[in-house]
Each structure stands twice: as structure tokens, then as C-alpha cells.
Amino acid sequence: MAFYLVHELKGLKTEKDGRMRIRANTSLPLAAAEDLVQKLQKIAGISKVQANARVGSLLIFYDSTRSRNQALKLLQANEKLPAMKKLLGVETTPQPALGGFFPLFRYLFIRPFLPPALRMLSAAIGAIPFLIKGLSALLHGKLCVEVLDASAIAASLYLRDFRTVSMLTLLLGLGDTLAEWTKRHSLESLTESLTLNVHTVWRKVNGTEVSTPLAKIKKGDLVVVRSGSSIPVDGLVVEGVAVINQASMTGEPIGVKREAGGAVFAGTVVEEGEIVIKVTSVGDDTRFRQVAAFIEESEAHKAGIQGKSERMADMAVPFTFALAGLVFLVTRNFMRAASVLLVDYSCALKLATPLAVLASMREGTYLGMVIKGGRYLEAMNEADTIVFDKTGTLTNASPVVAEVIPCADHNRDEVLRTMACLEEHFPHPVARAVVKKAQDENLAHEEEHAQVEYIVAHGVASSLHGKRLLVGSRHYIEYDEHIDVSPLSEQIAKQSAMGRSLLYMAEDGKLAGLLAIEDPLREEARSVIEKLKEEGFKRVVMLTGDDERTAKAIAEQAGITEFRAQVLPSDKADVVKELSDNGCKVLMVGDGINDAPALSQALVGVAMIDGTDLAREVANILLTRPDLNGLIAARRLARSTMRRIHVNFAATLLLNSVFLLGGLFNLLPAGTSAVLHNLTTLGISLNAMRPHLKHLAAIPASAPKPKK
């Protein structure tokens, strides 16, 4: 086992303290992980150690350079393979899967030309790694598939059946190599889709915010991040207070409070508030850590069916040993007992399901989606109700300002200029539309206003030249702030009847004007909704903050009969909860900051790539193309994956039962049973990894096709 450093962050409190993430080149036995944690925690200055045995990860918090170095020395002393080159400044490549493809080369091109004595020696040498692996698991108190494989090989060696030994080690080696290759390439494809998608940031210079390319940000710079935006750097908060969603790093969906002195990390998202961050790390290091955290999260979010398969595989091992013992007691024939050990259900049960899930997640990246865990594939398959947010989801993510309507005592250009000045700080499609309209009309809007306050899902508030400014929805302006909108009642009715959304501006408690936002339905929306109904969705619901007339106009265009108008963010989550409580399995599709609670509440949440950072972060599935056809592809991929898992499960039980009975009744020699069993396992694994090519029909013609 070899360890290597994947990320380190220093200066959390002082210049000498920090934390580092160490990764093993393989998963850690649970007992070994617990032992390492105990040893590390005994080192003076190590304040906390967290271990993830499945992915071989250790997160170590230290408060001095001395404790850090002692921890590294302890890990180096615990290695059974070469020293930690990465920790010494040299790259370490994780070791290849056990055996790799060398057993196949040896079996096909070397073994046939060897004399009998060397063939036996070659078979025995090839068996040693598997025997050690099984013995190690047994010594750690685990009766698992590795122990069963080692027992089968040992039985064949005892019977001097070296041909079977060679075939077993060949097939087991190929199976391990196949599993490792699939896992590595699947996760590489997934992580490519999760690169931090931030290009420009607001840098604070002498009290003024300046839009700056992320590539030009360096250590020590001050970066401003507001509600709904992704944090693009690692650093320390120097001003402000915010609630941070750290799910990408910790997997914990509940936001944490961060204020002056607190550490924040790239890839996390500001749910509420505004902070100024002093940069401590930026660039490849932070992106790498985000990717590593996602891999851990996707590994942890296994499908329920995968967990069931693994439990059944583990349960099958003692059953196989018990059956072999019973056969020996009844027949006193070691050959028949060995035939039971050579055929078991565990290998295929344990390999096929995770391979199918990982392969589907990998294929999903080519089909235009990032699926953040196997459980979400299963949830996508089970969902029977789909809930859409309107703006940016059913409608285009690039709405346009169709009309600027000022009140009688206000100037049209000033209304647009002021609204653009306030909205440019916020990552929402409507805000971008307002800013673009001002740019198209060459209306410069200097940063003269005071600090902008974002009221989640309502609007923004600030002050300019001593006047209190409010920009937002009708609910915010009329009902929350009690501002009379009747001066523009005729225009409000006219624009609403046209299906346009309205954005209001008030100045010192009086209505100043409004913008009519044209948010046309996506071209593919109606056809996608029809196909989703064909795919088994019984209910399709649209949620929007627009008034009843606007909501009805859009719903009719989309072919949706069930909709809720004037819905607030908390109401969206409540609607999802209400549907869930009534027995619906809800799939929520959204793109905005205010959709995050509903995305989290649903059985599975889906976000569009052109949505806000927070929506993309909270969602379980991310559509990486701005096209709703990805929903159909995701549904079909999920359904096909579950069908394949069930077929593989049935084939495993049927074929291995036949081979087992053949061995018990002397119809099949033990060696033949073993070969057939392992070929079946290999075949089922290959079937699990087979592409779902029929999903290409759901991909737009211009999109890149999956690699076969």
C-alpha cells in the first residue's frame, strides 16, 4: 500500500497549522483505517483525523509543522510498498489492478511453451498474490469474496490441478483489471464535468469592486462573493457573514455560518449573505481538491440496489463454505467439496452492480449529464412526478427585456440604468437580461450605490444619492414592502396577458417603473414533456412566481395542465414535500437560487448547466447541455441501467446454480465448473459495462456522441 498527498491547506489559524488530505492507492480495510486513525490521533498536535476506508482517504488536521511531519513519517512507516514519493515531491502513480493484463499474456504466449515443471511453478507463483489477499482479509476477521477466491485456488493447488489454478488466476486478474479500468475512466469522465466553472470574480481594490478574470487572482487578493455564487478560491473571511453550502467538500447539505476569521473553500457556495475573502489558494490545487471530494461523494452515494447486491454477496460467502463443508461430511469426497468452493455467487453479485452503475454514470457524461451518485440513477428510475421551475428551466435561460415602463415622474433610461446597476451583482438569468439591455443601449452604470442587499427570492435593496431603492417581484414590492403599484395597473395587466414576467423598481417607498421580461418557452419544452409522460411520469407540475395569467399562458404553451402561480421559494419546497407526503416520488428541475430548497427536498433534483452555482451544487443530476432533452436521456439511462442490473442478477443466480449442481452430481469436473463460473462472472461484468446506445435518440444532432 502506498500513500500520496492530494491536497494541503495551511494557515487556517496560524502560519504553521493546517490540514492535509492523504490518499492510499487502494481502499483500506476498515480495521486498518481505524488503526491508522488511532495512531495518528496519539501524535501531539494532531487535532482531528477523518478516514474514508472505501476510497482510502485520510483527512488530517494539525497545529504545527512538527506534528505534520510526524504524521507523514508514521504513514511512511506503515507502507508495505515503496515510500511516499508524492510527499517527498515526486509524483506517485497509483498501482495498477492486481495482476493487470500480464496473466493473460503469460497464459496465452508463455505457458504453452513451458515444460510441465515450470508450468506448475508458474501457476503457483501466479496464485501467491490472491492467496496473500485472502489470508490478509481472514486475519482482519473478514469472511469475504477474497477469502473464497483464495480457498478455491488453495483447493486446486492441493488437488495438483495446476491448469485450473492458472485459469482462475487469469480470470480473477482480468476481472480486477476490468473493474479498476472502468472505475478509473468513469470517475475521470465525471470529474472533467465538475471543473470549477468560474471565469471572473469581483476583486476589492481600495474599497471598490472590480470585475477581474479568475486567472489573474493571486494569493492575498480580496474577493467578494454574494448569495448564490460559487466560491472560486480557498481563503479566510475578512468581512461579512454568510451561510456556506459545503456539500461538494463534506457531503453535508446543511449550510454552515462563516464570518471574519473563518476558512472557506473553492467549489462551495454562498447560500445567503455576502463575504470578502482573503485568498490563500487559487487555481489547480483548489480544483483538484473539489474533484477528489466529488469522487468520495459519488462513491458514498451508492444506489440502494448496489448495497443490496454487496450484502447478498457477503452473505453468500459463508453459505458457500457451509455447503462445501456439508458436501464433504456427506460424501467424504474432497473433490466434490472443492467444486462448491470453485463456483460461488459472490463474485458476479459484487462486481456487476457497481460496474453497471459506474459505466452508466460515465456514459451519462457523454449524453450530457453529471450524475452525482448511483442512488440518483435509481431515484431517476423510480420518480413518477416531475416538477418544473418556470424561469430558466421551461423557458430559455437567456430572457430579454422586452419593454421598459417608467412611472409618470421618472425617466425611462434612468429606471433601466439604476436597475442594471443593482442587478449586475447577481447570477440569475433575469439579472443578466437587465444588464445586457443597459449595455445594448449604451447606458453606463457606475458603482455609485451603497452596499447591495439580496433578499432571497424577492429582490435587491440598496441606496443611491440618499434614496432607498428596491428591485424585485410584485410580491416583494407590493406585499412585503407595501408599495402601491396601481399607477401602472393597465400596463401590468397588458404585459401579464402577453405572458411576460414583470420586474418592479421602487424609490423611497413609491413605484418608479417596471421591466417586462420576455421569457420564451424553450423550443423543445412541449415535445420533451410529452415524451416524459410516455416515459412513465404520471404528473407534470409547473411552479412560478408569476401571476396567474402569466403562469397559465406559459403552461398552456408547454402542454402542462397543473401549475402553481405566485410561488415563493419556501412554497416550492413545501409543494415538493406535499407531493412526497401524498406518495409521489418527485423529480424537481430548477436553475435558480430560490430552487435550491425544493431541489434538496425532492427524491432527485436536476439542474441546468446555465443555472446558478447554488442550484448546480445542490442538484443530484446536472444537465451539462442547455437542453431539456437531457431529462429524457437521463430517464432512459436510469431505466436501462436498473433493467440490466436485474438481468445480471438473474443470470448470476441461474448460471452459477447450474454449475454448482453439475459439480455436486459429478456432471462437471471441478476445473470445468471453475472455468465456467469465472467466464460467467467476466461475461456479466462486460454486459454491465456495455453502452446504452439507444439513448442516442434523445441527444440533439449537434451534440457529441458517446464513445463506443
CATH number at residue 411: 3.40.1110.10
Could you tell me if 149 and 163 lie in one domain? yes
- Residues 579-616: pLDDT tens digits? 999 999 999 998 876 787 888 889 999 988 777 666 77
- Residues 493-521: pLDDT tens digits? 888 888 788 899 999 999 999 999 887 88
Residue 93's pLDDT is 36
Could you tell me if 179 and 304 lie in one domain? yes
How far from 403 is each of 150, 502, 627, CA to CA, in Å? 75, 10, 27
Which pLDDT band, with edges at 50, 70 and 90, does 403 fall under? very high
Q: Which residues have CB under 8 Å from 677's CB, separation 6+?
A: 342, 343, 344, 347, 656, 659
Query: Within 10 A of 600 (CB to CB), how many other CB atoms are there?
Result: 18
Residue 84's pLDDT is 34
Average pLDDT, the chain: 78
The rounded distance, in Å, linking the Cα atoms of 291 and 20 is 15
Residue 602 lies in a domain: yes
Helix locations, 224-277, DSSP H? 247-250
Could you tell me if 486 and 443 lie in one domain? yes
In terms of average pLDDT, the best of 68-72, 377-381, 686-690 is 377-381
Q: Which residues share a beta bridge with 226?
A: 274
Residue 467 lies in a domain: yes
Mean pLDDT, residues 429-449: 78
Joined together, the cell numbers standing for residue 100 give 493487470
- Residues 134-148: pLDDT tens digits? 888 888 887 877 887
Residue 538's pLDDT is 95
Number of H helices, E strands in the chain: 23, 24
Helix (H) or strand (E) holding 258: strand 256-258
In terms of average pLDDT, the best of 161-170, 307-316, 492-501, 686-695 is 492-501
Reply yes or no on whether the pLDDT at 227 is more than 90.
no
Reply yes or no on whether the pLDDT at 550 is more than 50.
yes
The rounded distance, in Å, linking the Cα atoms of 126 and 62 is 43
* Residue positions annotated with a catalytic role: 389
- Residues 84-125: pLDDT tens digits? 333 323 333 334 443 445 556 666 777 777 788 888 888 888
Residue 195 lies in a domain: no
Which pLDDT band, with edges at 50, 70 and 90, does 563 fall under? very high
Residue 631's pLDDT is 94
Joined together, the cell numbers standing for residue 146 give 477474497
Residue 10's pLDDT is 66
Q: Is the dihedral of CA 536, 539, 542, 543 positive or negative?
A: negative
Residue 261 lies in a domain: no
Joined together, the cell numbers standing for residue 111 give 505457458
Residue 250's pLDDT is 45
Window from 99-103, 350-354, 657-661 with minimum mean pLDDT = 99-103
Specify the CATH number for the domain of residue 13: 3.30.70.100
Q: Which residue has the cell 397543473?
A: 562
Reply yes or no on whether the pLDDT at 562 is more than 90.
yes
Could you tell me if 418 and 499 lie in one domain? yes
Mapping DSSP to helix (H, G, I), strand (E, B) and coil, where does residue 404 land? strand
Q: Which residues share a beta bridge with 505?
A: 471, 513
Could you tell me if 184 and 333 lie in one domain? yes
Closest CA to 37 of 22, 25, 18, 16: 22
Could you tell me if 508 and 547 lie in one domain? no
Q: Which residues have CB under 8 Å from 654's CB, separation 6+?
A: none
Antiparallel, parallel or unpaired: β 208-213 and 222-226: unpaired
Could you tell me if 31 and 178 lie in one domain? no
- Residues 168-212: pLDDT tens digits? 777 677 666 665 665 555 555 555 444 455 678 899 998 888 888
Do residues 1 and 25 touch, judged by C-beta distance below 8 A? yes
Do residues 564 and 548 touch, judged by C-beta distance below 8 A? no
How far from 275 is each of 234, 432, 453, CA to CA, in Å? 13, 22, 12
- Residues 27-40: pLDDT tens digits? 677 677 778 888 89
Could you tell me if 185 and 38 lie in one domain? no
Joined together, the cell numbers standing for residue 671 give 476445473
Reply yes or no on whether the pLDDT at 287 is more than 50.
no
Share of the chain above pLDDT 70, in %: 75
Do residues 279 and 211 touch, judged by C-beta distance below 8 A? no
- Cα of first residue to Cα of last residue in the chain, in angstroms, is 34
Mean pLDDT, residues 313-330: 81
The rounded distance, in Å, linking the Cα atoms of 321 and 137 is 15
- Residues 353-390: pLDDT tens digits? 878 888 888 888 778 888 887 888 999 999 999 999 98
The rounded distance, in Å, linking the Cα atoms of 14 and 57 is 25
Domain that holds residue 654: 102-190+300-358+640-697
Residue 222 lies in a domain: no
Specify the CATH number for the domain of residue 617: 3.40.50.1000
Could you tell me if 548 and 594 lie in one domain? yes
Residue 490's pLDDT is 92
How far from 329 is each of 159, 323, 343, 349, CA to CA, in Å? 18, 10, 19, 28
Could you tell me if 511 and 538 lie in one domain? no
Residue 589's pLDDT is 95
Q: Is the dihedral of CA 373, 378, 380, 383 positive or negative?
A: negative
Could you tell me if 644 and 689 lie in one domain? yes
Mean pLDDT, residues 261-285: 81
Mean pLDDT, residues 521-535: 93
Q: Which residues share a beta bridge with 593?
A: none
Number of domains composing the chain: 4
Window from 227-241, 438-452, 503-517 with minimum mean pLDDT = 438-452
Residue 568's pLDDT is 72
The rounded distance, in Å, linking the Cα atoms of 395 and 416 is 23
Residue 485 lies in a domain: yes
Residue 560 lies in a domain: yes
Residue 283's pLDDT is 62
Residue 196 lies in a domain: no
Residue 181's pLDDT is 63
The rounded distance, in Å, linking the Cα atoms of 559 and 581 is 26
Antiparallel, parallel or unpaired: β 208-213 and 586-590: unpaired
Window from 158-167, 254-263, 284-293 with minimum mean pLDDT = 284-293
Could you tell me if 341 and 466 lie in one domain? no
